[in-house]
């Protein structure tokens, strides 16, 4: 089983260029306070893993999971530390969609290590506050690694709510656009909103079990009087899931409504075209009869021409009046 980390420092070999040393140097940030260290390594590389291996005796599978891109949220409990994998939604501007940012954490009796594989603003903000503000650092570190773990996880969970509010506002705008006659223009926007909700749900669903495991194992590194804090994380996670369930139902309803509006518009067009086709049918029949190349009553008589025109007009007016009376036009 893993034992407490012991520092094992190495010196760089002579002969390496400054550029090579800079390129291979681990990117490790450390904030220390009496009894607790917070180590943050963003986008860990092989050099960072080597740095950790020299100082911490973690399980090899944990190091493998840190560098892997295909991990599910989980909490692994060891005798002397916890290894936690969490996923949080992050909007990628390059592709214009939500992706899962992985945050790996090692929690021990006197240390906490965060290894985000993508920049996470809540982690960066909290780490910078602890690094630059001694009062904030003392306040967070004095309560032990469990409380610091809570603050990090809680900040990342709370960061989901602004994303959800924007998503809700977008659905409201799409609903207004549907009933303002822009149904054909919002089809793509509805599809994009539905995809965002699906991606968000894919991130949040497996994490709910990880939060329950975290609540179960938290007692090793958090005081009994702080139990309610991890319950709060669970509650926030459930609120996120409930909102996503609601948005899923809303976007499906909007999609169905939009299809109904489009179908109704097509049906209106077909109804008008059908009505005019039926109205023109008797007129075409009468005109065809009197246009045959055979002798007909009144042939060569100007009065017969006006009589036929009068009949055509009468049939047209009568048909239009009847269709209007029935509400077909």
pLDDT at 136: 87
User: Does the domain spanning 1-144 belong to CATH 3.40.50.300?
Assistant: no
> In 70-144, which residue ranges form alpha helices assigned H by DSSP?
121-132, 134-141
Q: What is the pLDDT of residue 219?
A: 59
Look at residue 143 and give its three-state secondary structure. Answer: coil
pLDDT over 90 at 242, yes or no? yes
Q: Is the pLDDT of residue 26 over 90?
A: no
18 pLDDT more than 70: no
Measure the CA angle with vertex 115, ends 234 and 48; round to 5°. Answer: 165
pLDDT tens digits for range 247-303: 999 998 888 888 777 776 777 777 777 777 777 777 777 777 777 666 666 666 677
Please compute the mean of the pLDDT values over residues 165-175 and round it to a whole number.
90
Average pLDDT over residues 104-118: 91
Q: Euclidean distance between the first and final Cα of the chain, in Å?
A: 82
Q: What is the mean pLDDT of the chain?
A: 80
pLDDT of residue 5: 43
Find the largest Cα–Cα distance for the chain: 119
> Quick one: pLDDT at residue 35?
85
Rounded Cα distance, 296 and 308, in Å: 12
For residue 91, list its beta bridge partners: 98
Mean pLDDT value of segment 107-133: 90
Nearest to 214 by CA among 222, 225, 204: 222
Angstrom distance (rounded) from CA 259 to CA 305: 50
- What percent of the chain is predicted at pLDDT more than 70? 84
Strands (E), 244-322: none
CB atoms within 10 A of CB 294: 6
pLDDT at 283: 73
SS3 content of the chain, % helix, strand, coil (to 5): 65, 15, 25
Q: How long, in residues, is the chain?
A: 329
Q: How confident is the model at residue 274, as a pLDDT?
A: 75
Q: Give the burial class of 225: count Cβ atoms within 10 A of its Cβ; 0-12 exposed, 13-18 middle, 19 or more buried.
A: exposed
Q: Which of 7-21, 46-60, 273-287 reaches the highest mean pLDDT?
A: 46-60
Q: Which residue has the higher pLDDT, 19 or 26?
A: 26
Q: Please write the tens of the pLDDT for every residue from 182-236.
A: 777 788 888 888 888 998 999 888 888 888 887 776 656 666 666 787 888 888 8
């Amino acid at each position: 089983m893993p034992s407490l980390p012991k520092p094992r420092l190495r010196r760089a070999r002579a002969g390496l260029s400054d550029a090579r040393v800079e390129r291979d140097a681990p990117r490790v940030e450390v904030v220390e306070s009496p009894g607790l260290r917070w180590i943050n390594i963003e986008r860990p590389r092989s050099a960072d893993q080597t740095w950790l291996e020299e100082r911490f005796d973690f399980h090899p599978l944990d190091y493998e999971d840190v560098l892997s891109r295909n991990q599910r949220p989980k909490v692994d409990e060891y005798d002397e530390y916890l290894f936690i994998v969490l996923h949080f939604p992050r909007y990628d501007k390059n592709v214009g969609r939500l992706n899962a940012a992985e945050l790996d954490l090692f929690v021990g009796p006197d240390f906490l290590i965060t290894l985000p594989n993508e920049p996470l603003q809540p982690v960066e903000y909290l780490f910078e506050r602890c690094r630059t503000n001694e009062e904030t650092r003392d306040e967070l570190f004095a309560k032990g690694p469990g409380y610091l773990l809570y603050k990090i996880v809680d900040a990342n969970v709370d960061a989901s709510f602004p994303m959800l509010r924007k998503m809700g506002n977008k659905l409201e705008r799409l609903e207004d656009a549907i009933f303002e006659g822009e149904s054909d223009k919002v089809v793509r926007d509805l599809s994009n909103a539905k995809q965002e909700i699906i991606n968000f749900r894919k991130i949040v669903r497996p994490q709910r079990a990880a939060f329950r495991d975290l609540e179960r194992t938290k007692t090793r590194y958090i005081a009994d009087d702080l139990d309610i804090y991890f319950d709060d994380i669970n509650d926030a996670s459930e609120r996120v899931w409930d909102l996503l369930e609601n948005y899923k139902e809303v976007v499906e309803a909007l999609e169905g409504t939009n299809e109904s509006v489009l179908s109704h518009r097509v049906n209106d067009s077909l109804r008008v075209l059908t009505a005019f086709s039926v109205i023109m049918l008797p007129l075409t029949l009468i005109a065809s009869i009197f246009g045959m190349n055979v002798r007909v009553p009144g042939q060569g008589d100007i009065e017969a021409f006006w009589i036929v025109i009068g009949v055509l007009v009468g049939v047209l007016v009568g048909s239009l009046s009847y269709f209007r009376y029935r509400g077909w036009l």
